[in-house]
A and B are shown apart, each in its own frame.
Chain A
């Protein structure tokens, strides 16, 4: 890839759990050595099940949670080395939208104030210019400019997500981390928001890190997709290739578990046994081996590295390519 907007190298985040006078302190390995690259204007999907570390990774990139190790190079600068003021400036170009827009909007702030907050605190706009910008942003996300004086509770879920998007757009970001932005919305509303995200990307050339558990949505929206399991990336490939030429048994199982909206048209399903193992004591060797239908002897001993198995197609499986 020629141009790089964001590059994440060996990022690790462990959360301490337990520990007391007698018990030893242990760690949840939420993000355990992740490498990623996002090009300008690209959409990279990040999928995985609950607890795989995908949301933590999104937050670590913006330093909403501090990483324990690794480099996060955004627009040429390592974010982890920036001071407070510099970091605040860097964040102007990297924004985040959340799953539940209701929980992320201040209920006592009008949506106009919420959307204008970014430009205001950065000292970019004030007074009438700020009001005009807010009106423009509301229109951009498909809301009426005269709604600026209303409060979050006066809006539906889909409209609140539009407010969240307008707020993220206010500082003209080059990267938006979208953490499950349509997961709490109904299908018809979900389609509206996905169309809006696609349209904004086309107009402003924004790159997305699209975090989701919904493989159908990710397949539709993303250029490339990374699959996470127990804090690590196990497969990364161009969207179509990930779905057609899967090179990791976990991705295979995940894809086959998605219900197909065609009656009688279901593929052969791989039903995984058991639950995801504890991220406090991940299994030895390949973290997926206890649930893997293809596992061999060495999978429980040797940890597979994420390596190239095709053009731009990475897999962390000893057996790939299949």
Chain B
């Protein structure tokens, strides 16, 4: 495989709280290649958003603190750059789209002027040139009558339209990497379908790498090339989308797949349940953090924390007892 555009190694981000230090992300490795979509999936509190925000150092420090790891982009470690250097990359080479467009747009400026701001900072275009570019971007993301919409304020637009504006803003400088944190979670399914379709077409057009963070396995199946499953601040399994859905190996991934209605059980039959709750990360138990909820856990799991080990060419799993029966034939262990 080619060199990754973005690689995250050994990332550890903690938050200091009244009740102690909380390692929200605890040793995450990710690799993102040009033109691909990597979905980071997991439940609330697994550290998926904190990972994304750590990449661009968008977390308030304190209480957050990036304690270890590196984020390599374009040959340099983003975690070592000065704020001024990082600002040149944020929004231009690596852009981000958030879940709730209303809270990420400024309510007192028109949407046109907010897209214009990114161009003003990152390009040498003239005022007129920028104006044309903004209208071009609005057209690109499927907003009709861009010249009129330029003057609209965020509250005048629907949720789907606002998310289109956010995407236009993110694409304004044709970034190499787009980080999308639950971009469609706040939207209705029909609008979600529009936005996912838009993202896919723009990705192809600009050959962007997309890091898509979501909790929705349906969205993962439809958008991802590769998937990283996060649990309690760590990657527990990675693989191609076909491997993750076709032959999941980590008991947590298997549990997530089975918990979805309509996949494996009949109408009104009880759904598969992952018992218990996520452990308190301030007081991470010895051994594997999933063992208390795991049907396969034994004495080894209580003693040793499993490392993320490569499995075949493109996948890896962090488990002492992965499901191997479903392993595709011809792959090395």
Contact = CB atoms under 8 A, between A and B. Distances in A.
Nearest to B192: A257
Interface in B141-163: 158-161
Interface residues of A, number: 43
Interface string A44-56: 0000011000000
Contacts of B224: 263
Contacts of A194: 261, 271
Nearest to B194: A271
A101 to B, nearest CB: 15
B271 A50 contact: no
A276 B160 CA distance: 11
A194 B241 CA distance: 27
A111 to B, nearest CB: 17
B221 A261 contact: yes
B189 A254 contact: yes
A272 interface: yes
The SS class assigned to the A binding surface is helix
A219 B219 contact: no
Interface residues of B, number: 45
Interface stretch (A21-29, A183-191, A306-314): A183-191
B132 to A, nearest CB: 25
Contacts of A198: 268, 270
Given A216-B260, A275-B160, A253 B215 contact: no
A4 interface: no
Contacts of A221: 261, 268
B43 A188 contact: yes
Interface string A251-264: 00110111111111
Interface in A255-295: 256-266, 269, 271-272, 275-276
B193 A271 contact: yes
A238 to B, nearest CB: 10
A191 B194 contact: no
A43 B224 CA distance: 35
Interface stretch (B80-88, B120-128, B272-280): B272-280
B189 A260 contact: no
Interface of A: 49-50, 156-158, 186-192, 194-195, 198-199, 213, 215-217, 219-221, 239-240, 253-254, 256-266, 269, 271-272, 275-276
Given A187-B259, A262-B221, 6 more contacts: A191-B259, A217-B261, A256-B193, A260-B221, A261-B245, A269-B193
27 contacts: A49-B190, A186-B215, A187-B43, A189-B277, A191-B261, A191-B271, A191-B272, A213-B188, A219-B267, A220-B271, A221-B261, A258-B189, A259-B193, A259-B216, A259-B219, A259-B222, A260-B218, A261-B221, A261-B257, A261-B260, A261-B263, A263-B221, A263-B224, A263-B242, A263-B245, A263-B246, A271-B194
